[in-house]
């Protein structure tokens, strides 16, 4: 698949665990630049060929170029002609997405991008809703970047733990974009053993699955922390999937997306996998720890950040989200976990 294709210039903006893992995966076949704003992290990775902060113990390909220069990183990922394919991958969390897109917009505005240049390919990987605005990532990107005629946009998501991807273990992901050429570009970069890339046009469905499965994973962690058993976990996963689907379809997603990798696949992984930060937060809550103590210990989980935003947006849409609401009760309203679970179990019986 790669022998007859040119090497693609790939810039990954954000050197957290996932950005670093994707950079490592792409570097087996393509020219990769990995950017972080923290110069100490960049110097450490350059010296040790490891991301000691986010993926300690895992060696990174010698071909990755590390930089703290955002201009250099953007230019590396910008195609100058159709013969020199390139892509920018945004590896920042949702809370950093607006800022990084604003920096991209400033760069392209200053560089006087012309109509004859190829569109700049941009893919984001973050999962969640903006805690302040309730926007999904594609809504943030559209607002921050403006002039969509200059950009080819998409999201890469699916059931994956960064550590396993960096180790070269098998994984299947989904790229979502309305632009067929972008979907093909992402597949060309990443679709090689042991990584499989599937494609869809359903950006909304992929993003909703990626955001809401984190909330459901917190719920499953709480149930496991309370030792409620495998039956309870199966019920939460199944009803959680129904909740995700209801919300997604209401805002334009295809219901079928939720039975795929970025729906059911990501939900099962995040709700049951020991590497899941969201599940670990739920486990700690179920065992009686307070959220402030859990977060103070260094745990960060996207589900905590976006749960309230999802609940607010769902209410404005008239979508029933009992599991999300129960998680919010525990996270933000100091409702004891056992009481929140009891309230869920006391809900009126209904048809599935």
Q: Which residues contact 195 (CB under 8 A, 6 or more apart)?
A: 25, 165, 170, 171, 172, 173
Buried b vs exposed e over 83-116: b needs ≥16 C-beta within 10 Å? eebbbbbbbbbbebbbebbebbbebbeeeebeee
Give yes or no: 213 in active site. Answer: yes
> Rounded to an integer, what distance in angstroms lies between the CA atom of residue 181 and that of residue 207?
20
Q: Is the peptide bond before 268 cis (omega within 30 degrees of 0)?
A: no
Residue from 213, 315, 338, 350 carrying the catalytic annotation: 213
Catalytic residues: 213
């Amino acid at each position: 698949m790669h022998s007859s294709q040119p090497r693609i210039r790939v810039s990954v903006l954000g050197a957290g665990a996932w950005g670093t893992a994707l950079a490592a995966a792409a570097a087996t076949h393509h020219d990769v630049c990995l950017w972080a704003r923290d110069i100490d992290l960049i110097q450490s990775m350059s010296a040790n060929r490891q991301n000691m902060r986010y993926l300690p113990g895992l060696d990174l390909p010698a071909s990755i170029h590390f930089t703290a220069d955002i201009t250099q990183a953007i230019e590396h990922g910008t195609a100058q002609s159709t013969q020199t394919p390139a892509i920018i991958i945004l590896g920042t969390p949702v809370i950093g997405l607006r800022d990084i897109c604003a920096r991209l917009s400033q760069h392209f505005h200053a560089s006087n991008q012309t109509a004859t240049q190829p569109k700049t390919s941009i893919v984001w990987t973050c999962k969640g809703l903006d805690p302040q605005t309730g926007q999904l990532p594609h809504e943030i990107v559209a607002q921050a970047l403006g002039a969509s005629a200059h950009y080819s946009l998409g999201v890469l998501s699916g059931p994956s733990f960064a550590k396993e991807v960096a180790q070269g273990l098998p994984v299947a992901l989904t790229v979502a974009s309305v632009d067929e050429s972008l979907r093909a570009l992402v597949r060309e970069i990443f679709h090689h053993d042991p990584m499989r890339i599937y494609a869809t046009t359903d950006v909304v469905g992929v993003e909703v699955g990626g955001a809401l499965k984190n909330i459901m994973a917190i719920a499953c962690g709480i149930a496991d922390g309370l030792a409620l058993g495998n039956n309870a976990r199966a019920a939460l996963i199944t009803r959680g999937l129904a909740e995700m689907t209801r919300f997604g379809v209401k805002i334009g997603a295809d219901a079928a997306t939720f039975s795929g990798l970025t729906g059911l696949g990501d939900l099962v992984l995040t709700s049951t996998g020991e590497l899941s930060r969201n599940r670990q937060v739920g486990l700690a809550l179920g065992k009686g720890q307070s959220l402030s103590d859990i977060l103070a210990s260094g745990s960060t989980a996207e589900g905590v950040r976006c749960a309230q935003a999802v609940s607010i947006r769902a209410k404005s849409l008239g979508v029933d989200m009992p599991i999300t609401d129960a998680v919010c009760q525990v996270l933000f309203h100091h409702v004891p976990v056992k009481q929140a679970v009891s309230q869920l179990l006391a809900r009126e019986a209904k048809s599935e």
